[in-house]
Each structure stands twice: as structure tokens, then as C-alpha cells.
Amino acid sequence: MSLQLAEQFEANEQYEDAYREYKKEFDQNPEDLGLMERLGHLSLILEKPEEAAWYYHEILKRDVANPLAYEQLISIYENTDKYKYYIYRGNKNSLEGKLDFAVNDFKKALSVADDETQIIMTRLTLANLYRQQGKDLKAIDEYNIILEYENLHEEIFLQLADIYMKEEAYPSAIDALQRAKQKGFDTDRINEGLAAVYLKSGDAASAIKYTKDELLKIQCMLELGQIDEAYAKLNALPDEFKNSPRYFTLQAQCCYSAKDFKKALEYIDEYNKLSPNSPLTFQMRALVYDEEGDEYNAHVNWGKYNMLRKNTDIAVNEFLNAVQLKDDDVDLLFLLAGLLTESGETNHAAEYYEKIAKLDPTNKEALRKLAKFREGIGDYRMQVKYLEKIVEADSKDIQALKELAKACEKTKDFDGAVSAYNKCLELITDPAETQLLKSKLDKLESHGSSNVDESVGLLDKIMGFFNKN
């Protein structure tokens, strides 16, 4: 009842009464964003900007990307609080992907900040924006300025260390985390960060001192060559660890170190079930096959690993090496042809699609790729041949029939075009589409070969209709 009454009051411009009734409803439903928006709007009408700001702040707590809340807060603070004005405008620009504008806004906010907390938070946001822009050196500068203040948080040290880690500047990362400990942040996150950096830098002995993570301890033991101890500790873990992807990678590593390659592959397969298509899966398999002397599978898996890591040239070379050893793996040939196409080597890719088509004459995907390739170089007669093979393999492939009709047109085989369209007609169920096609075909058949130009025009229109649908 309060809501209906509030809406009625608002419609009649009785804003005080409307606000009162909306507030009653809001007290009963404090998470309702719609009510917050109404109360914020009415607060502005009633010239209560502080109340309005409170409602829009509450909206952002629940919907961090709400554009209306940002717009209203920017408007509220424009003439009353320049720091908040620039902060909210900067956040809005950041959410919209306008990072350069956001950076400028936060720089302006920094110029009017009047206490340490504001300065730290603003510089921290600037650092994060720089990281999003790929300007890590500028981010580092901001973090280092922040570290001169007393009112700090462990997150600053962790983020700084993360940047150094990505740059493989491990001593700098360690220094940042050790400074955190000196500042009193002797926390699990800081210590685990140190463990991760030490392990990454190759210092497993130091890493194991800082971590409480049982799986990381086992990894450190493996790095230190303590294979038996690591294996025993791994198998003694409670069942809760045995659904973790890391558990299976460590088991695989133990088996690999013990040269039990069959068991290692089984654990890698279990890992793959939990983390499908992870580059690590193919890296581990490649290492195992290398040790087993299985060159073919080693090349295949190194290729897949590099393909997922976007190292296309390396992946192509690995697949080429694999094909030299075994050239009848259709799945591998598809991967290779696809990568060659991505690299712009379409002629080379076509060779492998041809090989696939010879191995599997009914492979529609390979035939379709070959037809597309022939169309691209203007060889429409060969395009027709490949499309005909698709239709032979699947007489109900309407897309292939449409493409076949168009290709027949280009070779001036109008009888073939008409035949393909008639087959399309048998498959079409939409009455309007059927009638249109019948009409076009009647005209096409009546014209014959003496009116080639008009026939071509009609076929273009027919294909235009099909392409839209």
C-alpha cells in the first residue's frame, strides 16, 4: 500500500509525502535498488544532496557498475567536493574502459587530496590503472611512493611483488615482501608470497621455510630431489587434497622422477579432467614422451602446448615434425592446417586439407575448407567439385547446396545451378521462402542460356535471400 501511495504522491508532485511513503517501504526492503534510486532522486528534488549521496553509495555497494549512481554522485560532488567528484568520474571512466581519462581523473583527485588515506587509496588506484594499461614501471613508481607512508596495507606489498614476479625480477619481489614483514605484516599471505617467489627463483630450500601449504611443501621437496619423502607425504595427505588439480600434477611429477611413465600419464589424464585444455597438461605429456623416446607424441604435445601459449611458429614446427613421422592423423592435420591458415599460409594449409580429404573422402569440414580456398583464388570449377563431394556425403546439407548453386553460376553451368536450387527447394519448409524460390527458378529456367546476364542477376538475388536467412 505504501508503494502505491508513494507513486501517486510522486505523480502529483507531492514529493515530501512521496519520500515518506517510499522510506516506509525501504525500511521493510533495505536491499531494493529500485527504492534506493527513487529515494535518491527525491532527495535531490528536495535539495537534500547528502541523503541522495547516501542512497547512491548504497546502490554502488550492491551494483558496482551502476551508471545512474555514478552520474548522480558526479553531479552531487561537482561543486561541493572536488576529490570525490574526480574519484567517481574516474571510476566511471575506468568501468567504461576509458583508462586514459580515468588516469587523468585520479591524478586530479590526487592534486586535491587532503589526507594520507586519500593519497594512498588514490595512488593505489592509479597503480592498478597503470597495470591495466601495461605500464608496469609507472605502477611500480606509485607503489614505491605509497611505501613511504605509515598507514599501509599488505595488499600494496603483494601487488608490487606480483609485478616484479611477472618481470622475473625475483630479488625485487622478495625485497618487497620482506619489507612487508618489517612493517609488521607477518601474515600467511605475505609468507606464502615469499614461498612462491623463492620457488620460482629456484630456491626451494628457502621456499619450504615460509609455506604452510602442504602441496607447496611437497613441490619444494621434489625440487630439492627428495623424491621418496615427497611421494610418501603426498600419499599420506587427507582425501580433501585428492580433488585438487595440484595433487595430480605432483603425483605425475613423482612418477616422472621415478621413471614410472605409464602411471605419470594416468595422473596427467586425471589432472586434465579437472583442468581441461590446460597448457600444463600438454607440457607434462611432452616431457614424459620425450623421456620414453616417443618422438611423435612428444612433438604433438609440444605443439599443442605452444599453440595454447600462442607461440604459433613453434607450434607449426612441432606439428610439421610430427607429420614427418606419421602423416595419417586427421586430428593433427586439422590442427596444422588451421594454424597455417591463421598464419596466412593458405596454400600450405590447403595441402593438408587435401591430405585429410584423401584419408577421409567424406570429411565435410576438410572439403568445405578446400571449396572456400578454391573460391578465394577464383578456381570455381574445383570449388564445384569439392561442394559436389559434400553433397554426395550429405544430400541434406543445404548450405553446401546453396554454395554449389552459386559456384555453378560462376562457371556458367546454369543447369547445375537450377538443379542445386531444386534440391534446396525439397528441403525448405517455410511457405514464403518456398514460393519465392519457385518464382525465381521459373524465371531462371525460362530464360535459358541465351539470357546469361539476366540469369546471373536472378541467381545473385536468390543467394542474397539465402545469405540473409
* Of 406, 334, 323, residue with least CA distance to 365: 334
In a domain, 177, yes or no: no
Q: What is the mean pLDDT of residues 104-120?
A: 93
pLDDT, position 447:
55
Residue-wise pLDDT for 348-396, tens only, equals 999 999 999 999 998 999 999 999 999 999 999 999 999 999 999 999 9
State the burial class of residue 285 (Cβ atoms within 10 Å of its Cβ: 0-12, 13-18, 19+): buried
At residue 464, the pLDDT reads: 56
Gap between the Cα atoms of 267 and 351, Å rounded: 37
Q: What pLDDT is attached to residue 458?
A: 46
Q: Which three cell numbers stand for residue 230?
A: 615427497
Residue 197 maps to a domain: no
Q: For residue 456, name the pLDDT band (cuts at 50, 70, 90).
A: very low
What's the whole-number mean pLDDT along residues 390-412? 89
Cα–Cα distance, 3 to 184 (Å, whole number): 52
Please tell me the predicted confidence (pLDDT) of residue 451. 44
Distances (CA, A) of 400 to 42, 305, 393: 61, 34, 11
Mean pLDDT in residue range 207-223? 94
User: Which segment of 62-66, 194-198, 436-440 scores lowest on mean pLDDT?
Assistant: 436-440
- Cell numbers describing residue 409: 553460376
136 located within any domain: no
410: pLDDT strictly greater than 80? yes
Which whole number is the average pLDDT over 169-176?
95
pLDDT at residue 444 greater than cutoff 70 = no
User: Distance (Å, rounded) from C-alpha 406 to C-alpha 124?
Assistant: 60
Task: Count structural domains, the chain.
Answer: 1
Residues of the chain above pLDDT 70, percent: 94
Give the C-alpha distances (Å, rounded to integers) separating 449 from 378, 415, 436, 455: 22, 9, 22, 8
> With 90 as the cut, is the pLDDT of residue 68 above it?
yes
Task: Please indicate, yes or no, if residue 272 is contained in any of the structural domains.
Answer: no
- Average pLDDT rounded to a whole number, residues 417-446: 78
Spatial separation of the C-alpha atoms in residues 155 and 121, rounded to whole Å: 11
**Has residue 449 been placed in a domain?**
yes
Q: Is the pLDDT of residue 461 over 60?
A: no
Structure confidence at residue 422 (pLDDT)? 87
pLDDT of 255: 94
For residue 222, what is its C-alpha cell? 621434489
CA distance 85 to 253: 54
Confidence of residue 215 (pLDDT cuts 50, 70, 90): very high
| CA angle, 93 then 97 then 98, to 5° | 50
User: For residue 438, how far is the Cα from the chain centroid?
Assistant: 46
Residue 442 lies in a domain: yes
User: Burial of 159 by CB count in 10 Å (0-12 exposed, 13-18 middle, 19+ buried)?
Assistant: buried
Closest by CA position to 94, among listed 44, 43, 54, 131: 131
Q: What per-residue confidence (pLDDT) applies to 433?
A: 72
Q: What is the pLDDT of residue 452?
A: 41
Range in 260-264, 294-298, 378-382, 416-420 with the lowest mean pLDDT:
416-420
For the residues 62-77, what does the mean pLDDT come to? 94
Whether the CB-CB separation of 332 and 354 falls below 8 Å is answered with: no
- Provide the pLDDT confidence category of residue 453 given band limits of 50, 70 and 90: very low
CA distance 225 to 223: 5
In angstroms, what CA-CA distances link 310 with 147, 182, 302? 37, 41, 12
Domain extent at residue 422: 395-469
Q: Where is pLDDT greater, at 149 or 205? A: 205
Q: Is 385 or 447 the better-scoring residue by pLDDT?
A: 385
Q: pTM, whole model, 2 decimals?
A: 0.68
What CA–CA distance (Å, rounded) separates 81 from 145? 25
Which of 14-18, 266-270, 425-429 is the least confident region? 425-429
Report the mean per-residue pLDDT for the chain. 90
pLDDT at 279 over 90: yes
Return the percentage of the chain with pLDDT > 90, whole number: 77
> What is the structure's pLDDT at 449?
42
Residues 6+ away with beta carbon under 8 Å from 18:
6, 7, 9, 10, 42
* pLDDT-based confidence at residue 3 (cuts at 50, 70, 90): confident
Q: How confident is the model at residue 428 (pLDDT cuts 50, 70, 90)?
A: confident
Residue 460 has pLDDT above 90, yes or no: no
Residue 457 lies in a domain: yes
Is 218 domain-assigned? no
